[in-house]
Structure 1
Amino acid sequence: MNSTSKCIAVYGAAGHTGQFVVHEVQRRGLPVVAVGRSAARLDETIPAAIPRRIAELDDPVSLEEAFAECAVVINCAGPFLDTAAPVARAALRAGCHYIDVTAEQASAQASFAELDALARAAGRVVIPAAGFYGGLADLLASALASAGHIDEITVAVALDRWWPTVGTRKTGERNKVPRVVVTNARLAPLVLSAEVPNWVFSAPLGHQAMVELPFSEVITLAHHLKVGEIRSLLNRSALDDIRDASTPPPTAADDNGRSAQRFELVMRLVQQDGRRAWAGHLCRDGAHRDRSRPAFAGALVPAQRCTGTGPSGRPD
């Protein structure tokens, strides 16, 4: 890879999330390459001025060639149980950093377990679960927590509607891996309980009945924080939407293609000293870094990259 390259490859560029990522990279003035499995789909969805490359998941050579001369690969193509490993491995062989937006716990776990040594050897960074599920809660917890053991983290998410994309539907069909939570400071299988508290969000979401439904944030939080208990809650009406086969996909409500769905993410964090911290959703940009020479290499969580702490929690 050219050490001065700042090109960003977006894999799954023709998909719902991929199109947004391509647009955002372009808006920030960075060169972008749209990568996908179908030339026809890329032609339908990606502006003609943006370079595109075709690569199949089962063709490692085509993947590596698609990522050549790029600094970062952003994988937006689910199910990530199928795409994360081949795309990430090809990215590392091409000398690129790798990011994905998986909400799938098993995919994030596998990335940490199987890609860390490869990323360290390549001097590159692998960051799974850098999207809404996974990344946002991870950033919130890292912003709220002080040093030391955390007794409890509860993540509560409410959506006014959950209009599933085609990719979301496919992931739901593919991902049958049992979900996990953190209890007694260890990952453990989720045991459904009738005692799930209702939650009061800000208007217009208001009072919501909740269900326990952990996503990849449990994996990212447990990967770098010492936490006794982690629970993730989702409002029941959103789950009803996703389980209803007749719920339509999202439709554009503005010129950028964004839908009218609204959400709120709230975190409750309790530490040993009894301090309780609450926060709504948070978005924070990390400091600029030279993409060719990262401060840390290996499989990291979003907060470690944005706040400048490496695998051992050292300040950058």
Structure 2
Amino acid sequence: MHSTAKSVAVYGASGHTGQFVVQEARRRGLSVVAIGRSATRLNAVFPLAVTRRVAALDDPVSLEQAFADCALVINCAGPFLDTAAPLARAALQAGCHYIDVTAEQASAQATFADFDAPARAASRVVIPGAGFYGGLADLLASALAPDGDIDEITVAIALDRWWPTAGTRRTGERNNVPRVVVKHGKLVPLIPPAEVPDWVFSPVLGHQPMVEMPFSEIITLAHHLKVGSIRSLLNRSALDDIRDGTTPPPTAVDDSGRSAQRFELEVRLVQGSVIKTARVRGQDIYAVTAPIVIQAGLRLLSPSYRHSGALALAEAIDPVELLGALHGQSLEVFGDVLR
């Protein structure tokens, strides 16, 4: 039986990103169930006002019980190569929609391939890669996308610093699957070119040397847009940060728990002689994931929502409308992508 409740289950709730998601869901007036693998950790992080449940990834019964009376499961627990499949399966079994925030390409690919038919059968939606990586570029490119095939999409990301969480480091150690890009309309292994163009961002980040570093946006974009070439660039200094084992984790600088990190993400789309660009900028890539997934979740929970299947974020939710909801609240959106 499908749940008709409006509660949102957040798995990995006591982790860095999970705490932001719980906080944002409560701020939006949603009933939240904080779920994790450690009762001690959950009790230490969340007040008594937050419902807390413990469930193990290798225990489908405990997962389904944890998701009881919920309508949506948001998975914030990486590595998603390990967590996405059991959580998506249990979410559908419990009658819930499922969203995760993976930056891992292989995880997003597997979710699209393995859960489209089960999600359609359950009349529910499964959305991988709906966070900063994966989701934002998909929203921008889809809002820009013209009718017909697209020649090229380039995603350029700059962070003034990348203070990685413990979860990010664990995921990096686990995620040793070769990265892919799109060439000639097909996903192919990344072969780094000899040179990658520098990119000029807004004055805060300015001129940045870049490296080709594709995340889950390659998979989300290729899932539903017909594009000849898709590549994703990251500024070299951010990559140096995350490769340096001594780089500290993020430190809160405001009451919401955000770090001082500034980011900018630009999408450039080419169709023939027409070039379109759009970009977003804001503070803290982990924190900004929360309003993205909660705004998406609010739309999935609408009684009028009718889509089903394994869908990219911009397939499941109107990208222009969602960007409009985020603009001025959680990030700044620039370019001809807002109504």
Q: Which has the higher helix share?
A: 2
1:138 corresponding residue in structure 2:
138
Q: CA deviation at 1:44?
A: 1.4
Q: Give the Cα–Cα distance (whole angstroms) in 1 for the partners of residues 174 and 240 of structure 2.
A: 19
1:91 corresponding residue in structure 2:
91
Count of equivalent residues? 308
Q: Gapped runs of 5+ residues in structure 1?
A: 310-316
Moved over 2 A (4+): 1-4, 282-294
Q: Give the Cα–Cα distance (whole angstroms) in 2 for the partners of residues 190 and 93 of structure 1.
A: 36
Q: TM-score, normalised by structure 1?
A: 0.94
2:155 corresponding residue in structure 1:
155
Q: Give the Cα–Cα distance (whole angstroms) in 2 for the partners of residues 104 and 50 of structure 1.
A: 30
Q: Give the Cα–Cα distance (whole angstroms) in 2 for the partners of residues 6 and 251 of structure 1.
A: 33
1:259 corresponding residue in structure 2:
259
SS of 2:203's equivalent?
coil
Q: Is the 8 A contact 1:123 1:294 kept in 2?
A: no
Q: Give the Cα–Cα distance (whole angstroms) in 2 for the partners of residues 144 and 218 of structure 1.
A: 16
SS of 1:71's equivalent?
strand
2:308 corresponding residue in structure 1:
297
2:68 corresponding residue in structure 1:
68
Q: Give the Cα–Cα distance (whole angstroms) in 1 for the partners of residues 199 and 29 of structure 2.
A: 41
CA RMSD of aligned residues (A): 1.7
Q: Gapped runs of 5+ residues in structure 2?
A: 282-290, 321-339
Residues 1:187 and 2:187 aligned together? yes
1:14 corresponding residue in structure 2:
14
AA of the residue aligned to 2:268: R
1:230 corresponding residue in structure 2:
230
| CA distance 1:119–1:65, change in 2 (3 Å) | same
Q: Is the 8 A contact 2:140 2:319 kept in 1?
A: no
1:312 corresponding residue in structure 2:
none
Q: Is the 8 A contact 1:162 1:238 kept in 2?
A: yes
Q: Is the 8 A contact 2:102 2:131 kept in 1?
A: yes
Residues 1:169 and 2:180 aligned together? no
Q: Is the 8 A contact 1:71 1:292 kept in 2?
A: no
Percent identity over the alignment is: 70
1:123 corresponding residue in structure 2:
123
Q: Give the Cα–Cα distance (whole angstroms) in 2 for the partners of residues 4 and 213 of structure 1.
A: 41
Q: Is the 8 A contact 1:125 1:294 kept in 2?
A: no
Q: Is the 8 A contact 1:2 1:69 kept in 2?
A: no
AA of the residue aligned to 2:277: W
Cα deviations by residue, 1:20-62 (Å, 9 ceiling, x for unpaired): 0000000000100000000011111112210000000010100
1:314 corresponding residue in structure 2:
none
Q: Is the 8 A contact 1:57 1:87 kept in 2?
A: yes
Residues 1:45 and 2:56 aligned together? no
Q: Give the Cα–Cα distance (whole angstroms) in 1 for the partners of residues 255 and 301 of structure 2.
A: 33
SS of 1:280's equivalent?
strand
Q: TM-score, normalised by structure 2?
A: 0.88
Q: Give the Cα–Cα distance (whole angstroms) in 2 for the partners of residues 226 and 35 of structure 1.
A: 38
Q: CA deviation at 1:204?
A: 1.5
Q: Is the 8 A contact 1:36 1:55 kept in 2?
A: yes
